[in-house]
Amino acid sequence: MARPITLFTGQWADLPFEEVARLAGQWGYDGLEIACWGDHLDVSRWDDAAYVQGRLDILERNGLTTWTISNHLAGQAVCDDPIDQRHRDILNDRVWGDGDPEGVRQRAAEEMKSTARMAAALGVKTVTGFTGSSIWKAVAMFPPASQEFVDAGYADFAERFHPILDVFEEVGVRFAHEVHPSEIAYDYWTTKRTLEAIGHRESFGLNWDPSHMVWQDLDPVSFLWDFQDRIFHVHCKDTKKRLDGRSGRLSSHLAWADPRRGWDFISTGHGDVPWEDAFRMLNAIGYRGPLSVEWEDAGMDRLVGAPEALAFVRRLSTYEPSAAAFDAAFSSH
């Protein structure tokens, strides 16, 4: 069941888009999941036909295509509370504006609408991203967070994302939310609650990234089965746990690759994600979309990690379900 393998450009946005496309094409990727930051994609130019065609031309010159674009950074600001210096560091000037928190949220929502329009202009059917959350700050439940406080957080998400999804549906594009700590859906039960909050809209689904599940001790494979009708996109990223009795899951505000951390993101195939089981499950649920390599490994050079991850994913993704039951050969008739 051959699926296209793409490289997510989010961690490469310090390089010009044309250079990332050259590298990915040289390594043998089928395409790119294009990040809407750096110089990779400016969604405000969705109605500039020459600009859009220029992005497509760069892909074509390097033997690539695109099935997905990402706007994780703007999506994060749609629901987040507080809005602070962390957001200033990741948002473009157009979204940040004067930094007034509610203004930032409103401009981030408009940026997500433009992202849907840019996807449609490129001929892309899926946008990956984050939602942010007004209640992530209460994850430790102290000071105590009442049920009313939590309910209000899901209501806030729905109120802010329904108008965004209206535009997605108008242009025929889907939103794939990445289940991730700091988002409105960050584990199994919050994913169910999020889908309920948004009324199970057909345009709202999931970007499955097992790396965020492994360090929370969630089963990423059963997640695929239970949410199979909502798996719009797949990220191939890994996590290595090092919970040694001193290092904890919350990682003590230690930098990536610090050996005292309880876990680290690591190049695909080097961590604790059960990849073979995951690919068998992707076959079982009939997922035929892109497999997007997201390189995040502070302990490995990306110029080594990205081509190595491609080879790893390519090998596993070519497994096909058997055309015949193995026990059929036992019959003599």
pLDDT in tens, 244-284: 999 999 999 999 999 999 999 999 999 999 999 999 999 99
**CATH number for the segment(s) 5-321:** 3.20.20.150
**HSE-up of 93 (CA within 13 Å, CB side)?**
0
* 8 Å CB contact between 207 and 228: no
Only one residue has tokens 């699926």, namely 3
What is the DSSP secondary-structure string of 31-75?
EEEEESSTTS--GGGTT-HHHHHHHHHHHHHTT-EEEEEE-HHHH
The pLDDT of residue 1 is above 80: no
Q: Which token pair is 175?
A: 């939103």
Mean of the per-residue pLDDT values of the chain = 96
pTM attached to this predicted model: 0.96
Mean pLDDT over 105-125 rounds to: 98
Rounded average pLDDT over 133-141: 97
pLDDT (tens digit per residue) in 274-304: 999 999 999 999 999 999 999 999 999 999 9
Residue 63: phi and psi, rounded to 5, are 70, 30
Distance between CA atoms of 232 and 195, rounded to whole angstroms? 14
Count how many Cα atoms sit within 13 Å of the Cα of residue 325 in the half-sphere of its side chain. 4
Q: Which residue spans within the chain are E strands per DSSP?
A: 5-8, 31-35, 65-70, 126-129, 174-178, 204-208, 231-236, 238-241, 263-266, 291-293
318 pLDDT tier (thresholds 50, 70, 90): confident
Q: Phi, psi at residue 285, to the nearest 5°?
A: -90, 0
Find where tokens 């130019």 sit.
45
Any residues with CB less than 8 A from the CB of 164 and at least 6 apart, and which? 78, 109, 112, 113, 116, 175
Domain boundaries, the chain: 5-321
List Cβ neighbours of 268 (8 Å cut-off, separation of 6 or more): 236, 237, 238, 275, 293, 295, 305, 309, 312, 313
Rounded CA separation 131/170 (Å): 20
